[in-house]
């Protein structure tokens, strides 16, 4: 007859801390100063301040180490989010970030052009005045016919700019089955949006 381990014995075996490592690819410079991470690569440089109330952050050799003293679900989630943010920074300065969008209209021919720090959308649903979507810093937007490309090295800025463009052409107060005009995200960093 075998004895089952008591819940106390199982809890005693759980590690009390969580550690995550991020390998720094060759050719990149990464520095950690308090809760600020700076990544420099061939495409440019990104610096971000991470909210790390109960997380340790340090650079050791060619790795960034994230640690938490408590092994709780919330701590794991925050560590995972911080790791994803640093991974996105590394990917951004290495490969860049590209979102592709499509101008769609059926009733009124709509056009878009970049004007300063805004994307100007003319004749949306036949409106007399253009709609304007803000473009964030260090994000470039190109319009070629019906295709809009949003590029940059900071994933947060690129995705927020694309979302702002999509929201600017959001239809309110009309039947969405009939009026499907707008500018929609079709691809995020090479992955089609379903």
CATH of the domain at 55: 3.90.930.12
Is it the case that residue 114 has pLDDT exceeding 80?
yes
> How many distinct structural domains can be found in the chain?
2
Same domain flag for 87 and 105? no
Which helix H or strand E contains 10, and what residues bound it? helix 7-13
Planar angle of CA 74, 75, 76, nearest 5 degrees:
90
Angstrom distance (rounded) from CA 181 to CA 106:
6
2 lies in a domain? Answer: no
Same domain flag for 136 and 86? no
125 or 97, greater pLDDT: 97
CA distances from 72 to 19, 58, 122, 146 (A): 12, 21, 51, 48
pLDDT in tens, 30-46: 888 888 889 998 999 99
1 lies in a domain? Answer: no
Q: Residue 3: what pLDDT?
A: 52
Angstrom distance (rounded) from CA 185 to CA 82:
26
From the DSSP assignment, how many helices (H) and strands (E) are in the chain? 3, 14
108-126 exposure pattern, b = at least 16 Cβ within 10 A, e = fewer: eebebeeeeebbbbebbee
Q: What is the mean pLDDT of the segment spanning 125-133?
A: 85
Same domain flag for 62 and 144? no
Residue 28 C-beta-side C-alpha neighbours within 13 Å: 29
Positive or negative, the CA dihedral 164, 165, 169, 170 is: negative
Residue 88: strand, helix, or coil: helix
Same domain flag for 75 and 101? no
Is it the case that residue 52 has pLDDT exceeding 90?
no
What is the span of the domain harbouring residue 127?
Answer: 97-192
Same domain flag for 158 and 175? yes
pTM of the model: 0.79
**Alpha helix (H) residue ranges in 51-178:** 73-95, 155-168
Same domain flag for 181 and 101? yes
Same domain flag for 86 and 159? no
For residues 118 and 134, the answer to whether their CB atoms sit within 8 Å is: yes
Cα torsion for 32, 33, 39, 40, to the nearest 10°? -120
Q: Report residue 22 as tokens.
A: 């991020």
Same domain flag for 179 and 117? yes
Is it the case that residue 157 has pLDDT exceeding 90?
yes
């Amino acid at each position: 007859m075998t004895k089952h381990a008591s819940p106390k014995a199982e809890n005693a075996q759980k590690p009390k801390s969580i550690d995550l490592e991020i390998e720094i690819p060759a050719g990149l410079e990464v520095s950690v100063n308090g809760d600020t991470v700076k990544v420099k690569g061939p495409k440019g440089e990104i610096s971000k301040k991470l909210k790390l109330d109960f997380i340790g952050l340090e650079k050791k050799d060619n790795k960034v180490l994230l640690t938490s003293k408590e092994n709780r679900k919330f701590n794991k989630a925050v560590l995972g989010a911080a790791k994803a943010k640093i991974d996105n920074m590394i990917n951004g300065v290495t490969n860049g970030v590209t979102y592709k969008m499509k101008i769609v209209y059926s009733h009124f021919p709509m056009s878009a052009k970049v004007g300063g720090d805004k994307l100007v959308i003319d004749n949306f649903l036949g409106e007399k005045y253009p709609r304007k979507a803000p473009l964030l810093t260090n994000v470039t937007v190109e319009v070629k016919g019906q295709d809009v490309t949003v590029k940059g090295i900071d994933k947060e800025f690129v995705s927020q700019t694309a979302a702002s463009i999509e929201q600017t052409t959001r239809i309110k107060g009309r039947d969405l089955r009939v009026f499907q005009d707008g500018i929609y995200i079709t691809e995020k960093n090479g992955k089609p949006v379903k």
